[in-house]
Structure 1
Amino acid sequence: MTSDTGLPVLVIGAGPIGLAAAAHLLEHGIEPLVLESGPTAATAVRSWGHVRLFSPWAEVVDPAAEKLLAPTGWTRPDGQAYPTGRDWADLYLQPLADALGDRVRYDTRVTGVARAGRDRVVDADRDEQPFTVHTVHPDGHEERLLVRAVVDAAGTFSTPNPLGANGLPALGERAAADRISYRVPDLKDPADRARYTGKRTAVVGTGASAFTALAHLADLAQEESDTHAVWVLRRGITGSTYGGGAADQLPARGALGLAAKAAVDNGYADALTGFRTATVEQNADGKLTLVSEDGTRTGHLDQIIILTGLRPDLSYLTELRLALDNRLQAPTALAPLIDPNQHSCGTVYPHGAAELSHPEKNVYLVGMKSYGRAPTFLAMTGYEQVRSVAAHLAGDHAAATRIELTLPETGVCGGTGLHNQPTPTENPDTGCCTTPTTPHHTTPTTNRSC
Structure 2
Amino acid sequence: MTVIDRATHTFPRHPSIPEDRMTLLDLTPRTATAPRLDALPVVVIGAGPIGLAAAANLVERGIDVVVLEAGEEPAAAVRRWGHIRLFSPWRHLVDPASRRLLEASGWTEPDADAAPTGRELVDAYVAPLAELKPLRSRIRYGSRVLAVAREGMDRTRSAGRETTPFVVRYATADGVVELTARAVIDASGTFDSPNPLGSTGLDPLGAPDLGDRLVHPLPDVLGIDRARFAGRHTTVVGAGHSAANTLLALATLAESEPGTRITWLIRNDSAVRVSSSADDELGDRAALGSRLDTLVHRGIVEKIDAFEIATVERRAGGVRLIGMRRGAASVHDTDLVVAATGFRPDLSMLREIRLGLDDIVEAPVRLAPLIDPNVHSCGTVEPHGFDELRHPEHGFFIVGMKSYGRAPTFLLATGYEQVRSVVAWIDGDMRSATRVQLTLPATGVCSTDAGGCC
Amino acid at match of 2:446: L
Aligned match of 1:399? 432
- The structure 2 residue matched to 1:122, chosen from 157, 180, 185, is 157
Aligned match of 1:220? 253
Aligned match of 2:193? 159
> Aligned pair 1:316/2:344, yes or no?
no
Aligned match of 1:112? 147
> Aligned pair 1:40/2:73, yes or no?
yes
Please say if residues 276 and 288 of structure 2, whose CA atoms lie closer than 8 Å, have aligned partners that are also in contact: no
C-alpha distance after superposition, 1:158-194 (max 9, x if no partner): 100011110011111121021111222323324x111
SS of 2:262's partner is: strand
- Alignment partners' CA distance in 1, 2:164 and 2:300: 60
Question: Which deviates further from its counterpart, 244-253 or 37-46?
Answer: 244-253
Size of the aligned set, in residue pairs, is 413
C-alpha distance after superposition, 1:269-297 (max 9, x if no partner): 211111010111122x3321100146644
- The correspondence of residues 314-353 of structure 1 with structure 2, limited to 5 A, is 314-343=347-376, 346-353=379-386
Amino acid at match of 2:123: D
SS of 1:276's partner is: strand
SS of 1:400's partner is: helix
Question: Which deviates further from its counterpart, 314-323 or 221-230?
Answer: 221-230
Please say if residues 345 and 376 of structure 1, whose CA atoms lie closer than 8 Å, have aligned partners that are also in contact: no
Aligned match of 1:386? 419
SS of 1:333's partner is: coil
- Alignment partners' CA distance in 1, 2:447 and 2:177: 50
C-alpha distance after superposition, 1:85-133 (max 9, x if no partner): 1111111111111111211110000000100001001112111110011
Aligned match of 2:219? 185
- The correspondence of residues 266-285 of structure 1 with structure 2, limited to 5 A, is 266-283=298-315, 285=316
Please say if residues 366 and 382 of structure 1, whose CA atoms lie closer than 8 Å, have aligned partners that are also in contact: yes
- Alignment partners' CA distance in 1, 2:321 and 2:113: 44
How far off its partner does 1:205 sit? 0.5
Question: Which deviates further from its counterpart, 178-187 or 166-175?
Answer: 178-187
Aligned match of 1:446? none
Aligned match of 1:210? 243
- Alignment partners' CA distance in 2, 1:133 and 1:225: 52
Aligned match of 2:176? 142
Aligned match of 2:203? 169
Amino acid at match of 1:183: P
Aligned match of 1:22? 55
> Aligned pair 1:248/2:280, yes or no?
yes
SS of 1:252's partner is: helix
- Alignment partners' CA distance in 1, 2:273 and 2:429: 44
- Alignment partners' CA distance in 2, 1:387 and 1:31: 15
Please say if residues 289 and 297 of structure 1, whose CA atoms lie closer than 8 Å, have aligned partners that are also in contact: no
> Aligned pair 1:198/2:226, yes or no?
no
> Aligned pair 1:289/2:320, yes or no?
yes
How far off its partner does 1:417 sit? 5.0
> Aligned pair 1:418/2:446, yes or no?
yes
How far off its partner does 1:10 sit? 0.5
TM-score normalised according to structure 2 size = 0.87
C-alpha distance after superposition, 1:34-80 (max 9, x if no partner): 00000000011111111111111111111101111223222211212
- Alignment partners' CA distance in 1, 2:113 and 2:360: 38
- Alignment partners' CA distance in 2, 1:66 and 1:115: 34
SS of 1:281's partner is: strand
How far off its partner does 1:344 sit? 5.8
Aligned match of 2:16? none
- Alignment partners' CA distance in 2, 1:297 and 1:167: 19
Residue ranges of structure 1 left out of the alignment (5+ in a row): 423-450
- Alignment partners' CA distance in 2, 1:31 and 1:39: 22
Please say if residues 345 and 378 of structure 1, whose CA atoms lie closer than 8 Å, have aligned partners that are also in contact: no
| Seq. identity, % | 49
Please say if residues 345 and 377 of structure 1, whose CA atoms lie closer than 8 Å, have aligned partners that are also in contact: no
Please say if residues 242 and 261 of structure 1, whose CA atoms lie closer than 8 Å, have aligned partners that are also in contact: no
- The correspondence of residues 427-438 of structure 1 with structure 2, limited to 5 A, is none
- Alignment partners' CA distance in 2, 1:219 and 1:104: 39
Aligned match of 1:374? 407
RMSD: 1.9
Please say if residues 9 and 30 of structure 1, whose CA atoms lie closer than 8 Å, have aligned partners that are also in contact: yes
- Alignment partners' CA distance in 1, 2:92 and 2:314: 46
SS of 2:218's partner is: coil
SS of 2:436's partner is: coil
Aligned match of 2:6? none
Please say if residues 353 and 400 of structure 1, whose CA atoms lie closer than 8 Å, have aligned partners that are also in contact: yes
Aligned match of 1:447? none
Q: Judging changes above 3 Å, is the alpha-carbon distance between structure 1 residues 345 and 367 closer, same or farther for their aligned structure 2 residues? A: farther
How far off its partner does 1:23 sit? 0.7
